[in-house]
Amino acid sequence: MSTLIDGIGMLFDGHVEHLDAAVVVEGERIAWVGPSSEAPACDERHDVGRRCVIPGFVDSHAHLVFAGDRTFEFNARMSGQSYTAGGIRTTVEATRSAGEAELATRAASLVEEMTAQGTTTVEIKSGYGLTVEDERRSLEIATSLTDETTYLGAHVVPAGADADEYVRTVTGEMLRACAPYAKWVDVFCERGAFDGDQTREILQAGIKAGLLPRVHANQLTEGPGVRIAVELDAASADHCTHLTDADVDALASSNTVATLLPGAEFSTRSPYPDARRLIDAGVTVAIATDCNPGSSFTSSMPFCVALAVREMGMTPMEAVRAATYGGARALRRDDIGLVRAGARADLVVLDAPSFVHLAYRPGVPLVRQVWRAGERVR
């Protein structure tokens, strides 16, 4: 079965814009992209009425398995308190006391929210369980929602635990229980969470168990996170808010993507990362939501694109590219994030004549249709 998606006013494929374009979808894949006037005959024709089409968003950083919320903490921050890693423990307590069905339903409804806003691939981390069984069940829930699952037993040291003993659990029993459900291993490398030596040890144990590394790096302070990410060829160093020139140079000469999470700076009222500096140095940049109840409770990639343009020095084209192609690179995927023949048919039809409207009309629900693997899902 072939479907012609036609009438596209503008198609933005991550690198270039095409005007008056059409896309042919066959099964789960894109079979052809080109000018409308040259489109081949297809079984079905679907007219999108001269709207802009972009690749589905790739949200490469999200924490969706949790219970409770932290409205109180957000409110306190907006009255002048500052964000610390310690708030994570509040969510850990709520998550441990919640039943599996509740956690699964809440995570699924966040994925629903994301889909409605154009996200067609999402990465989901554990990290609010912090016991062997609570981490394992978080990842089991995550695997029911995505292939991009991340073991984040090293989110913080749980209340009352000894740090060295906890690292032994994270690299031992917990890793053995979680590895079958995870593709990635991640560590929150930060003051108040895990230091450089612990980060390296945990990532290396994960790699030995067959997982691929990614790192929460340099969010709240300068530190060793980015350097360790590059050293271990991590797919991504996430946050990258406080970088030295050496960090930027290391990223620029590596295969590690800098994933920027402007929702976190928005929600913690902190200075934004300098995307311009990274792009100008030749670093591949991704944008993701970091959806979590503490530092960034947004599921909206369009919101993050608008923030990236307004607050991080990115052009609309760079921001939309970072939210699609960049996210795919951060997950080491080459089958998503671009509209081109052979890619998975993940497409978003915007109620707008140009992708620029994602930043130009912030907060307006512009996602009109969502196609995932060749199927219309919204």
Residues in binding site for 4-imidazolone-5-propanoate: 70, 128, 155, 219, 295
Site string for Fe ion, 281-310 (x = CB under 5 A): ---------x--------------------
> Minimum CB separation from Fe ion for residue 154, in Å?
12
> Radius of gyration of the chain from Cα atoms?
20
Annotated binding site: 61, 63, 70, 128, 155, 216, 219, 290, 292, 294-295
Q: Candidates 30-38, 289-297, 337-345, 369-377 — which segment interacts with ligand NIG by CB under 6 A?
A: 289-297
Residue 295 in contact with ligand NIG, rule: CB under 6 A? yes
Sign of CA dihedral 169, 172, 177, 180: positive
Residue 148 in contact with Fe ion, rule: CB under 5 A? no
Name which of 198 and 292 has its Cβ closer to ligand NIG: 292
Residue 290 in contact with ligand NIG, rule: CB under 6 A? yes
8-state DSSP, 97: H
> Minimum CB separation from ligand NIG for residue 196, in Å?
16
Instruction: Give Cα 351 to chain centroid, integer Å.
Output: 23
Helices (H), ranges, the chain:
71-78, 88-97, 100-116, 132-143, 163-171, 173-178, 196-208, 225-231, 245-252, 262-268, 275-280, 301-311, 316-321, 327-330, 357-360
Residue 292 in contact with ligand NIG, rule: CB under 6 A? yes
Q: Which two tokens stand for residue 333?
A: 């995927």
Annotated binding site for Zn(2+): 61, 63, 216, 290
Strands 17-26 and 2-12: antiparallel
Residue 129 in contact with ligand NIG, rule: CB under 6 A? no
CB of 105 within 8 A of CB of 65? no
Residue 344 in contact with ligand NIG, rule: CB under 6 A? no
Among residues 36, 60, 91, 284, which is the contact residue for ligand NIG, using CB under 6 A? 91
> Minimum CB separation from ligand NIG for residue 162, in Å?
21
CB of 348 within 8 A of CB of 54? yes
Residue 120 in contact with ligand NIG, rule: CB under 6 A? no
With CB under 5 to 8 Å by kind, the binding choice for 294 among Fe ion, ligand NIG, none is ligand NIG
Annotated binding site for N-formimidoyl-L-glutamate: 128, 292, 294
DSSP element (H, E) containing 352 = none
Interacting positions 181-210 with ligand NIG (CB under 6 A): 188
Name which of 296 and 369 has its Cβ closer to ligand NIG: 296
Among residues 115, 121, 171, 219, which is the contact residue for ligand NIG, using CB under 6 A? 219
DSSP string, 218-279: SSSS--SHHHHHHHTT-SEEEE--S--HHHHHHHHTSS-EEEE-HHHHHHHT-PPP-HHHHH
Rounded (5°) CA angle 248-253-256: 80
Report the 10 Å Cβ neighbour count for 313.
Answer: 18
The owner of tokens 């969706």 is 64
With CB under 5 to 8 Å by kind, the binding choice for 188 among Fe ion, ligand NIG, none is ligand NIG
Interacting positions 60-89 with ligand NIG (CB under 6 A): 87-88
Among residues 187, 202, 203, 264, which is the contact residue for ligand NIG, using CB under 6 A? 264
Report the 10 Å Cβ neighbour count for 29.
Answer: 15
Alpha carbon distances (Å) from 110 to 314, 318, 331, 333: 27, 26, 20, 23
Site string for Fe ion, 242-281 (x = CB under 5 A): ----------------------------------------
Name which of 216 and 333 has its Cβ closer to Fe ion: 216
